[in-house]
Amino acid sequence: MSRLAKRVAIVTGGARSIGAAIADALANAGATVIVGDLHPSEQHESLPLDVSDEASVEACIQSVVHAHGRLDIVVNNAGIMFEAPVQDQDRSSWDRMIAINLTGPMLMSKHAASHLSTNGSGSIVNIGSLEGDSANPHHSAYASTKAGVHGLTRAIAVDLGPRGVRCNAIAPGWIDTPLNASYVDAHPDRDAVIAELAKLHPVGRVGDPADVADVAVWLASDESRFVTGQVITVDGGRTSRPPLPGMLS
């Protein structure tokens, strides 16, 4: 409970899935957690937040600082994903993805910067993806935004480092979220899909939201005080093992 005692954290998109797990983990480590989301949190104090709207971002941060007197941690988790081959990608959907997944973390960091604690406890944690360095089919928009988040993370670390504020990102692999579960459930042989997914990971399983949340707590804590500008891969070793054809693996 003492790791993040007296610290105040905002988690965007924290009402569900990975964001909710991060909010819970921060609170369990002692932080006061405020969820910024279009949907209210059932577990934590929450504020309405549209990360693509600068006025909404500024109002959310000002409300937190006014109510709690400080701000120490920002977790930029809010994001969306859709699929479209690049040749069919429409501009409006592309712009929406950029606005939420990439512009959102920039706006949150911009407006939080002057409020974040400068005594070493100020930390921004962005949620990137393995697709920041690779891409699945029909994910040109999503992969582009996550590559941008990784670059933004390094740039923020450089800009805010002199103020005593750190910025890092987490790149999750396959995590058992409702979105990923929908892909599995749509397959005629769900059990076979789960077994094949597990084989992709040297640890023998897919990830759980708590696996990401624990790393977020570490990055927000003093235990990572000399870590900034980094993208931490949380993928059960998936990207460490080159793929082989099924008949050889």
CA 84 to chain centre: 22
Among this protein's residues, is 183 annotated catalytic?
no
The tokens for 186 are 């749509």
**In DSSP terms, which residues pair with 32 in a beta bridge?**
8
The tokens for 138 are 């029909």
Could you tell me where the DSSP H helices lie in 11-139? 17-28, 54-68, 91-98, 104-112
Point out the catalytic residue in the list 142, 156, 217, 236: 142
Q: Helix-strand-coil percent breakdown of the chain, rounded to 5? A: 45, 15, 35
**In DSSP terms, which residues pair with 123 in a beta bridge?**
73, 166
**In DSSP terms, which residues pair with 122 in a beta bridge?**
165
Question: Among all residues, which ones are annotated catalytic?
Answer: 142
